[in-house]
Structure 1
Amino acid sequence: MKGLYFIAIVPPKEVAERIHQIRLEFAEKYHSEEALKPPVHLTLKEPFKMDVKDELILKRKLSFIATQHQHFKHILKDFDRFQKHTIYINAEKHPLLLGLKKGIKKTFRTNFYHVEQDQMPFNPHYTIAYRNIGEHIFEMAFADYESKNFYAEFECDEFILFKHNGKQWHNIEAFKLCGMPEITLFDQLVPEKEQKQLIKAS
């Protein structure tokens, strides 16, 4: 039996509510409700099908990934588009976010090679609207949102595995990012106070 899954970052409640309100306003104004179906999220692994019996193995692999990656400040800023089909909020390409995406991609390529692999370049974002928007409406809508500002930031300390139950997506497990920062020989030998003085002097 196959299950349908995807992996994502979900913002804290207050940020998610702000984004969802924008999605609702867009859907009402431009009659485009497709983006309302999934929860507010940033996709780390596109929806994929796999045997339900492999779900436990997947969770173990994702748990290991979480131990290898650190939490990070996640910044969301303003609006952009993909061609003529998607309007979204930009997410900053933090090196730790890119590393997390790379780790997940490598794990699937190595351990779940039978699962469809991501082909598109990673462009982190939060979708506002997509798919069922006519070209004329899309251009008008983007002209509206292009001139608007949006800013939010939060400490991203987990990612989520979602599973579809046939009607909607459900959060089935969260994985805490608990990797430790790399400690260099400089960090080990030079006290923090002296490090700051050296950095300031340079």
Structure 2
Amino acid sequence: MSYQLTFTSSIPVVASYYEAEYILIAEPSAEAREMIMAEKYFFHQDYQDDSALTTKPFIKVACFNAREEMEDTIIRWMHRIVSMQESFEVMLNNYSGFPPHTIYARVQFTEPFKKLATQFSAIDQYLLSNGCKPLSFSKHPHVTIARKLHERVYEKAMLDYSQRSFFASFYVNELVLLKRRSENEPYRQVYKFGLTPVQHPLYD
């Protein structure tokens, strides 16, 4: 799931009985983001596809629906869980795709994301006990290059990108929680969760 990111200041919590959509993401560093956006621009130039430019680089960690009056509790639990996890390195290595519509940069080692998924069982239970669906975790963490492609465009691009190479790396030091109240509005930032800093070998 990719989307057009629109960041605003934290939005106030308003009691409601309908479910808002939430997504927890990891964002690339400025350097990695620049490299990814260059790849998205090349895709736009080669295939005249606007989605490559209208979707910003991110990695989806999890998504869920919840009533807005549950938000404070979910944020407290997420803060506690994420703050106990160490920051980690993400390596993007070459390309892959989701037939028949999405081309993406592949996350090479997904273990840190799998580890995060195992820590959210309490939030799952909270969602279920309140009549909501459980958290949905990304089984294939990735950074989207282009999405919602026509099948013929996807097939041509996949043939091309399977022969290309790409590499970028960055450290994930925080996760960002976004939400929207309907499909007709952009996601907005709710909270940032900092991971426990670790000494990066690159800077020893």
TM over 0.5: yes
Greater Rg, structure 1 or structure 2?
Answer: 1
Alignment correspondent of 1:173: 191
Alignment correspondent of 2:139: 122
Cα drift, residue 141 of structure 1: 0.9
- The answer as to whether partners of 2:24 and 2:176 remain within 8 angstroms in 1 is yes
Corresponding position: 1:24 with 2:38:
no
Corresponding position: 1:14 with 2:31:
yes
Q: Give the distance between the partners of 2:187 and 2:158, measured in 1 at CA.
A: 28
Corresponding position: 1:110 with 2:125:
yes
Structure 2, gaps ≥5 residues long: 1-15, 199-204
* 1:112 alignment partner, SS class: helix
Alignment correspondent of 1:195: none
Cα drift, residue 38 of structure 1: 4.5
Structure 1 segments of 4+ aligned residues over 4 angstroms from their partners: 35-38, 118-121
For normalisation by structure 2, the TM-score amounts to: 0.75
Q: Give the distance between the partners of 2:173 and 2:50, measured in 1 at CA.
A: 30
For normalisation by structure 1, the TM-score amounts to: 0.76
Cα drift, residue 7 of structure 1: 0.4
* 1:137 alignment partner, SS class: helix
Structure with the larger helix share: 1
Alignment correspondent of 2:176: 160
Cα pair distance change 1:3/1:121, threshold 3 Å: closer
Structure 1, gaps ≥5 residues long: 181-202
The CA RMSD over aligned residues, in Å, is 2.4
Q: Give the distance between the partners of 2:29 and 2:160, measured in 1 at CA.
A: 26
- The answer as to whether partners of 1:77 and 1:149 remain within 8 angstroms in 2 is yes
Cα drift, residue 164 of structure 1: 2.7
Question: Among the aligned pairs, what percent are the same residue?
Answer: 22
Q: Give the distance between the partners of 2:107 and 2:180, measured in 1 at CA.
A: 25
Cα drift, residue 77 of structure 1: 0.7
Cα pair distance change 1:26/1:117, threshold 3 Å: farther
